[in-house]
Structure 1
Amino acid sequence: MAKLNPIELQKHLSGVDYPASKQDLLEAAQKNGGDDEIREALEGLPDQTFNKPTDVTAALSDRM
């Protein structure tokens, strides 16, 4: 898997109201045209609440 671009990731998470669940992030990415790579990365997140966009980025840091 190629490294994710954090700017592209946040573009696909546009409109998310934080705090947000993993499911909220997946739904936003799908709505905003996220590709398979974005979806797979988000599916790999732990089932938790993310309080802000940087929490998502930190959780995905090994893929970025």
Structure 2
Amino acid sequence: MTRGLGGHAPANITHYLKGMDFPASRQDLEQCAKDNGAEKEVLETIHGMPDGKFETMADVMKAYGKEH
């Protein structure tokens, strides 16, 4: 079940990134989300984030905020 509107709620992102080791690249985030069964909308949201290294989950949420 998709959480939030269109699958874009911050809780959706963090849910599918459980177990993520940091630092991580956007590609690492995408792979972790895929491995955790993320829906298409979640993967598209992560794919839209800037490329680079994320040091913590807080960095991921900042990037998410800039996208939305």
Structure 1 outlier segments of 4+, above 6 Å: none
Residues 23-42 of structure 1: pairs in structure 2 closer than 5 A: 23-42=27-46
Question: Number of residue pairs matched?
Answer: 63
Higher RCO, Cα 8 Å, sep 6+: 1
Q: Secondary structure at the match of 1:14?
A: coil
Gaps of 5+ in 2: none
| 1:59 corresponds to 2:63 | yes
Q: TM-score, normalised by structure 1?
A: 0.87
RMSD over equivalenced CA pairs, Å = 1.6
Gaps of 5+ in 1: none
CA distance in 2, matches of 1:39, 1:3: 10
Q: Which moved more, 1:4-13 or 1:30-39?
A: 4-13
Q: Secondary structure at the match of 1:60?
A: helix
Q: TM-score, normalised by structure 2?
A: 0.82
The alignment-based identity, stated in percent, is: 35
